[in-house]
Amino acid sequence: MSTFAHYPSLKDRPVVISGGASGIGEALVRHFAAQGARVGFVDIAAEAGERLAAELTSAGQVARFARCDVTDTAALQQAIAGFAAAHGDARILINNAAHDQRHDWSEVSPDYWDACMAVNLKHAFFAIQAVAPGMAKAGGGSIINFGSISWMVMTPSIPIYETAKAAMHGLTRSMARELGRSNIRVNSLVPGAVITQRQLDLWIKPEDLRDIEAHQALPGHLSAGDCARMALFLAADDSAMISGQHFLVDAGWANS
């Protein structure tokens, strides 16, 4: 039996999630679907996204997938409109999609800079632009922007990613003010060193796991589910008077 919280306010509530086919995004999709939300999610990975949607649908949950490159603003906003047609106007938006590709700052070109900003920051603004009118019409909603502790702890070899993730805090604060009178809440969720399969495949070695745990105040390692459960709280009516804030899920590593 699960010991985690159930949120009645999330039942049947339309939610849009970017980057939902794997990693933290997949955990978000699974957790919101399990709460009875109507989940629409996008990802560039078509096979994984379709497989996840089919699995959840066969289990009696509501999950709709659209293959989309979030750097294509028109396609992203079209996908969001498609979810609204199927599920109703989004009451929850989770801007999760990102790409933490390592890079050498001295070799960055203007085109690479623009591409990194597009996948890590730009799409979040235009997704907000797409959902906000419907949220306001429906009486309000919750927007959750994913940040990162990487810029707080000065992780090497990802300076553009860190710049974009730091900017997520500015986007959160500004849009919380812009949208607050429409009863739309905007917050940032800031993961620490979440151990996903991608991180293990590409970046994290056994010695890195020991180093990560040494930096944390808590023992053990963060999972994608730890982030998803914070997102559930920030999306639910339980957090109705919380906006413009950032919430670290990092086992006590970073100083915010």
Owner of token pair 């996204």: 49
Q: Supply the residues annotated as catalytic.
A: 161
Nearest CA to 120 among 92, 161, 86, 68? 161
CA–CA separation, 152 and 254 (whole Å) = 6
CA–CA separation, 38 and 138 (whole Å) = 15
The SS3 assignment for 210 reads: helix
Q: Can you say whether residue 50 is alpha, beta or left, with left for phi > 0 and alpha for psi between -120 and 50 degrees?
A: alpha
Q: Can you say whether residue 202 is alpha, beta or left, with left for phi > 0 and alpha for psi between -120 and 50 degrees?
A: alpha
- Those residues whose C-beta lies under 8 Å from the C-beta of residue 149, and which sit 6 or more positions away, are 190, 191, 192, 193, 248, 250, 253, 254
Q: Could you tell me the two tokens for 68?
A: 């989309």
- Those residues whose C-beta lies under 8 Å from the C-beta of residue 166, and which sit 6 or more positions away, are 147, 151
